[in-house]
A = this chain, B = another copy of it.
Amino acid sequence: MKTHTHYITINTNKRVDFVRLTPKIQEIVDKSNIKEGIVLVNPMHITASIYINDNEQGLIKDYQEWLEKLAPKDKDYHHHLTGEDNGWSHLWRTVMGREVTVAITKGELDLGPWEEIFYAEFDGQRNKKILVKVLGA
């Protein structure tokens, strides 16, 4: 069994941002030389999400309006008593999920035709790390 570990550093211009990661993850899988297995991708921060869905700007707007409805930014969260103002960021990340595990088949990310790996940032404008762990043979 082989493993390969890679850390991506990311710093978004906007506090809330969506970044397509698919080509970068394929590149890391290529470097790992693992042909059959899985790759785990997760943010190392708790106000960001890795998820898989469509690379379509309308949907990305829908996500933001919908998350705002489910967990409004301007609510007085208990978490804000710590001095933070990102209670909503933790809840948004909870809806979108922390991580994805993607199969690798014949050296390629085994994704459907519209599946794209995204990094969703909900408290950006500073350096954040993403962990990519490849496992297989």
Contact = CB atoms under 8 A, between A and B. Distances in A.
A48 B87 CA distance: 22
A71 interface: yes
Among A66, A77, A129, find the residue whose CB has the most chain B CB atoms closer than 10 A: A66
Interface in A65-86: 65-66, 70-71, 77-82
Which bucket holds chain A's interface residue count? 35 or more
16 contacts: A1-B37, A1-B137, A3-B137, A40-B101, A44-B112, A46-B53, A51-B94, A51-B98, A57-B78, A58-B82, A59-B77, A61-B78, A63-B91, A94-B95, A94-B96, A105-B133
A113 to B, nearest CB: 8
Majority-rule SS of A interface residues:
mixed
B43 A112 contact: yes
A90 interface: yes
A129 B112 contact: yes
A136 interface: yes
A8 interface: no
